[in-house]
Amino acid sequence: GMARREGISLMLDRVNELSDGLPVIVTGDFNSEPESDVIKHVTDSANPEHLTDARQASSIVYGPSWSFHDFGKIPYNKRPLIDYVFVRNGLKVLRYGILAETENNGFLSDHTPVLVTVE
């Protein structure tokens, strides 16, 4: 809602302040899917403070299109993508992947790791 959007605006302001034009990587669980207003706000190119979603910027994308499974409780086709890696200021994204492999169906977390290679 509105509070989350305001939080995102504050985050973008702070990133802008701290980065001083240097390359930036912002990662986290945004509890919002790619089509949501929240993520659209982060990546809106009309906003000079916007960030680029590494998944969208990468020419190589592998793994599933979701990052949250709640320890396997969410059915495969209903799992959301809510964990992001955003970049800015000249970083090139070479590879983006979600690492969903498990051993013996054991999960270390309710989220999957997101692995991104940048230069």
Query: For residue 78, what are the CA distances in angstroms to 38, 70, 75, 81?
Result: 20, 11, 5, 10
Instruction: Give the model's pLDDT for residue 106.
Output: 82
Q: How confident is the model at residue 8 (pLDDT cuts 50, 70, 90)?
A: very high
Report pLDDT digits (tens) over 18-75. 999 899 999 999 999 999 999 999 999 999 999 999 999 999 999 999 999 999 999 9
Does residue 113 have a pLDDT over 80? Answer: yes
Does residue 5 have a pLDDT over 90? Answer: no
Most distant pair of Cα atoms in the chain: their distance: 46
The CATH number assigned to the domain holding 45 equals 3.60.10.10
Angle at the Cα of 57 from the Cα atoms of 45 and 119, rounded to 5 degrees = 110
Count: domains in the chain? 1
User: Mean per-residue pLDDT for 1-28?
Assistant: 92
Q: In b/e form, how buried is each residue of 16-50, taking b as 16+ CB within 10 angstroms?
A: beeeeeeebbbeeebebebebebbebbbeeeeebb
pTM recorded for the entire structure:
0.93
Report pLDDT digits (tens) over 78-112. 999 999 999 999 999 999 999 998 878 788 899 99
What domain range includes position 44?
2-118
Instruction: Give the model's pLDDT for residue 14.
Output: 95
Query: For residue 25, what are the CA distances in angstroms to 40, 43, 67, 84?
Result: 17, 13, 18, 10
Does residue 11 have a pLDDT over 90? Answer: yes
CA dihedral (63, 67, 71, 77) positive or negative: negative
